Structure 1
Amino acid sequence: MPSYRIMISAIDAFGHINALLGFSEGLKAAGHEIFFAHRNKHKHLADKRGFEFIPLDESLPGINMDEAIFQWIDMNGDKFRQPPLERYQGMDFESQEAVSAQAEFFFILDKALDKVVTENSFDLIVVDIPGPMPFLYKHSIPWIPLASLNPLILYPKGPPPFSGYSVNSDPSNWSEFKEVYQSAHQILTETHNKHLEKVGLGHIKFDPSIFVDNPAHFGFYHYPGELDYDECPPRRDNWIRVDAWIRQADFDDDFQLPEQLKEKPGKLVYFSLGSLGSADLVIMKKLIAILAKSPNKFIVSKGPRGDQLELADNMWGQNYVNQIKVVQSVDLVITHGGNNTFLETLYYGKPMIVIPYFYDQLDNAQRVVDKNIGFRVNTYDLDEDYFLDCIEKALTDQTINQKVKSISQNMRQSTSLSEAVKKIEKLIEETKNSTKL
């Protein structure tokens, strides 16, 4: 099989970047040359994996996505601590404008990536970006989208994505959520669609209820077969499941239990609300105070504002930890339910408690409950005793632990990633052959 030149990129969010990297490691292992186009601050991620790196910084002047997201969280933190329906009912014009401002970054990123493709020669493009990107339609290079979200977005007849509703819930409530959600994202939708019309792509529409583009050929999503939404057929066309594309650890060093925890009693638990949820200091401080009363010990990923958090005596943490290595070393994971952490936890066979913050985290949290592989704890009805009881049950419930171990084994034995790589290779070959005719 020949070696192909493949460009990869994602929006500047760890969830999308990490998913992209994990998938692309499979392409690299098959002998292909990977070009990671992104901000220079992510260059070490390419170097770690033997990818070529293409910096975008000169094409992204004055963009500080991190600060924009923090401001958005600060503005809407009280809403994200409400039930999903109420939070979107309460999304006012000002907060909609803030979301729309974030959309402007996508347009700037689109121009930057268009420049990279124009100036280089690639055989394929792989992207993890929530919505249509015009540069993909401008060039004749085949492109593959990744959906690094809970796959409910790919099942139109299931519960509304981002609602956290069970597949067993009353469908009569689903329409109201869909209407409220679409209304809350009206300005974001209009901003995207006006831009698409401006560049001659008015026939392509941005849809905030799925946050993916329709594949020109096919796309891949990441979820184990045992948890997929088979109760809600049919799946959207041309989307193919990959059971596992877990990324390498950011650092090779094995995790060592910190000295201050070695003599502490109890099981070892990892706690992380992700890079976005952990930026909500109100909820982080509340959860840390509850975990301080647990008889167990905790590794805490404090997040980008971690310097403002004080940990209890039964905890050790850093703003960022080597998560892959930590997850392998603990007995339980308490997570926000972002798709990467969710799947990494399952891959390494750990039970979990999901404390969803927003969007597809709510759907992953409910899937844990529906499939009896852990527990869901909501920020909007947080009960201290219930939370602490969930920790003990998750650590000791044999049914939960056996199910998680089974899912882990199947993810590890799956050949779906190598099959995805072969499908991509066939697409590139067919494209090259068609251009010779």
Structure 2
Amino acid sequence: MANNKVLKVLFVPILSGGHVYSSIGVAERLIHSGHEVLFLVNDFWSGKLTKYGIREVLLAKIDSPFETNGATDLAKHMIARGLVGGDSPLQKAQREATFVELWTKHMKQFDPQFERLLPTIQPDLIVLDQFMTWPSLELSAIPCVWLWGNGPLIMVDDEKAPPHESGLSATGDQRLWQEFRQVVRDATKDMWRAFNDWMVGRGCEPLPEYAIQNPSHYLNIYGIPHELDYQDIRPLGHNFVRFDNFKRTESDLTFAVPPELAEKPGALVYFSLGSFGAADVANMRRLLAILAKSPHRFIVSMGPLHNEYTLADNMWGEEWVPQIRVLPLVDLVITHAGINTVCETMFFGRPMIAMPLFSDQYDNSQQIQDTGFGRRLDAYKCSEEELLAAIETLLNDREMAERVAKVSRRIQTDNSLAKLPQIIEDFVQNRRKYIE
């Protein structure tokens, strides 16, 4: 540990599964290095993090759709507003102001509570995974690491790369990039101006145009294998540090393929559309009806609405399955392409069928296809023939299997996350080196 100083590190993640889990992956490394870690949690997460050695600080309830019951309420809210569903990324971009408005209201309720807690906690460092910055954070002068729990395009909107959440190819028509950017800017410009004016009114510096955070103020860490990154076309500043993943160890979890599935023939496939995808019961039923016609076996992450649909004889599933223990056992992964699942699947060297639902999942899915580690399909419009054919193609693609296995070997050998505590310690000691 640098200078033998124990750091008190406060984590403030978005309180939904993927964001909390990636924060836990970072926290585990800091705890192992001797640092003290606290998480701000709500009622749903209270009591769930202590097993990692994390101290919990319970937040007061606020009236917000982002105050979730394990993301189910938020998922239903997003589906109802058309932010998750069968519309195209461009159609959803036209509704981006709705999301910005919702998140701004949430943040304005949360920020005063955060401001009151800081003098009590007195952290040496804040690790933040949020969508937008807060005045109390900007004004606190406490060193901050921004943990980006989404794909890398969201960090900096650089015209040398596709716009985030577009799902457009890094090698595609750049006129489509500009069209998408303009749609988002037109949809959000009034909300952005109001948010920026409010930040400035609180005494903060103006934000970069159309941005709802200022990455130059922080050490920025993000997780994605370099094989899926965009730094070849859009290099990042020295205050951005990439890791191959933020994978949790979860040493207490075990999993074995249930006997009723283990005894059946066929390859083994893991199917998970995350909490948002699983909450769209109608689409889950449609996709499971297709998979029921496959000769292969499926482990299904069913989500909190698991009682509203049933599985076929070639399937086994539960509300929640220990994904980190399942992935090494399967031959193929069908995923919504959330960044954690993508990184964990690459860690274990499995090809993917990526079926994005919203946000960075579109970008992650396109990169998976463009770089030859899987296939992108439309979660809402793919036909029975498309999905079943994609499964057979990927299961029999030996070249793809070796390509993803090679990446897996590199990731596990490099163990990039082991370097994280030293980087964090150096940032606290030498902050100017990173942000000036």
Asked if Structure 1 and Structure 2 have the same fold, meaning a TM-score greater than 0.5 normalized by the shorter chain, the answer is yes
Aligned match for 2:173, one of 170, 174, 186: 170
Confirm or deny that 1:5 pairs with 2:8. Answer: yes
Q: Is the contact between residue 8 and residue 125 of structure 2 (CA under 8 Å) also seen in structure 1?
A: yes
Counterparts in 2 of 1:186 and 1:15: CA distance versus 1, 3 Å: farther
Which structure 2 residues correspond to residues 64-79 of structure 1 after superposition, within 5 A? 65=66, 66=68, 67-76=73-82
SS at match of 1:76: coil
Confirm or deny that 1:85 pairs with 2:90. Answer: yes
Letter in 2 for 1:131: M
How far the C-alpha of 1:35 sits from its partner, in A, is: 1.0
Counterparts in 2 of 1:203 and 1:190: CA distance versus 1, 3 Å: closer
Which structure 2 residues correspond to residues 275-424 of structure 1 after superposition, within 5 A? 275-424=275-424
How far the C-alpha of 1:331 sits from its partner, in A, is: 1.6
Aligned match for 2:40, one of 3, 27, 37: 37
Q: Is the contact between residue 274 and residue 336 of structure 2 (CA under 8 Å) also seen in structure 1?
A: yes
Q: Which residue does 1:229 correspond to in 2?
A: 230
SS at match of 2:400: helix
Q: Distance in 2 between matches of 1:236 and 1:164?
A: 24
RMSD: 2.4
Q: Which residue does 1:23 correspond to in 2?
A: 26
Q: Is the contact between residue 155 and residue 232 of structure 1 (CA under 8 Å) also seen in structure 2?
A: no
Counterparts in 2 of 1:400 and 1:215: CA distance versus 1, 3 Å: same
Q: Is the contact between residue 169 and residue 370 of structure 2 (CA under 8 Å) also seen in structure 1?
A: yes
Q: Distance in 2 between matches of 1:284 and 1:212?
A: 35
How far the C-alpha of 1:291 sits from its partner, in A, is: 0.7
Q: Deviations over 1:83-138 (max 9, x none)?
A: 2223334x3xxx84465234312222222222221112221111111121222122
Counterparts in 2 of 1:31 and 1:170: CA distance versus 1, 3 Å: same
Give ranges in structure 2 of 5+ residues lacking alignment. none
Counterparts in 2 of 1:199 and 1:146: CA distance versus 1, 3 Å: same
Q: Is the contact between residue 351 and residue 373 of structure 2 (CA under 8 Å) also seen in structure 1?
A: yes
How far the C-alpha of 1:248 sits from its partner, in A, is: 2.4
Letter in 1 for 2:93: Y
Q: Is the contact between residue 224 and residue 411 of structure 1 (CA under 8 Å) also seen in structure 2?
A: yes
Q: Is the contact between residue 80 and residue 87 of structure 1 (CA under 8 Å) also seen in structure 2?
A: no
Q: Distance in 2 between matches of 1:248 and 1:303?
A: 22
Q: Distance in 1 between matches of 2:81 and 2:27?
A: 35
How far the C-alpha of 1:408 sits from its partner, in A, is: 1.1
Q: Distance in 1 between matches of 2:180 and 2:140?
A: 38
Q: Distance in 2 between matches of 1:344 and 1:173?
A: 31
Counterparts in 2 of 1:194 and 1:97: CA distance versus 1, 3 Å: farther
Letter in 2 for 1:87: K
Q: Is the contact between residue 26 and residue 245 of structure 1 (CA under 8 Å) also seen in structure 2?
A: no
Q: Distance in 2 between matches of 1:358 and 1:178?
A: 16
Letter in 2 for 1:247: R
Counterparts in 2 of 1:204 and 1:352: CA distance versus 1, 3 Å: same
How far the C-alpha of 1:185 sits from its partner, in A, is: 3.7
Q: Is the contact between residue 373 and residue 403 of structure 1 (CA under 8 Å) also seen in structure 2?
A: yes
Q: Deviations over 1:48-76 (max 9, x none)?
A: 211111111x2x34445332441231231
SS at match of 1:386: helix
How far the C-alpha of 1:354 sits from its partner, in A, is: 0.5
Q: Which residue does 1:127 correspond to in 2?
A: 128
Counterparts in 2 of 1:206 and 1:31: CA distance versus 1, 3 Å: farther
Which structure 2 residues correspond to residues 174-213 of structure 1 after superposition, within 5 A? 174-186=177-189, 188-190=191-193, 192-201=195-204, 203-204=206-207, 207=210, 213=214
Structure 1 segments, 4+ long, off by >6 Å, are: none
How far the C-alpha of 1:332 sits from its partner, in A, is: 1.2
Counterparts in 2 of 1:7 and 1:167: CA distance versus 1, 3 Å: same
Q: Distance in 1 between matches of 2:128 and 2:308?
A: 34
What is the aligned length? 422
Counterparts in 2 of 1:429 and 1:96: CA distance versus 1, 3 Å: closer
Counterparts in 2 of 1:44 and 1:205: CA distance versus 1, 3 Å: farther
Q: Distance in 2 between matches of 1:302 and 1:334?
A: 13
Name the stretch that deviates more: 237-246 or 281-290.
Answer: 237-246
Q: Distance in 1 between matches of 2:189 and 2:16?
A: 22
Letter in 2 for 1:85: L
Letter in 2 for 1:71: H
Q: Distance in 2 between matches of 1:206 and 1:116?
A: 30
Q: Is the contact between residue 219 and residue 427 of structure 2 (CA under 8 Å) also seen in structure 1?
A: no
SS at match of 1:353: strand
SS at match of 2:45: helix
Counterparts in 2 of 1:120 and 1:365: CA distance versus 1, 3 Å: same
Q: Distance in 2 between matches of 1:366 and 1:399?
A: 19
How far the C-alpha of 1:319 sits from its partner, in A, is: 1.8
Name the stretch that deviates more: 411-420 or 10-19.
Answer: 411-420
Counterparts in 2 of 1:218 and 1:99: CA distance versus 1, 3 Å: closer
Q: Distance in 1 between matches of 2:326 and 2:405?
A: 17
Q: Which residue does 1:435 correspond to in 2?
A: none
Q: Distance in 1 between matches of 2:99 and 2:92?
A: 15
Counterparts in 2 of 1:97 and 1:160: CA distance versus 1, 3 Å: closer
Name the stretch that deviates more: 414-423 or 342-351.
Answer: 414-423
Letter in 1 for 2:186: S
Give ranges in structure 1 of 5+ residues lacking alignment. 433-437
Letter in 1 for 2:117: V
Task: Output the TM-score relative to the length of structure 2.
Answer: 0.90
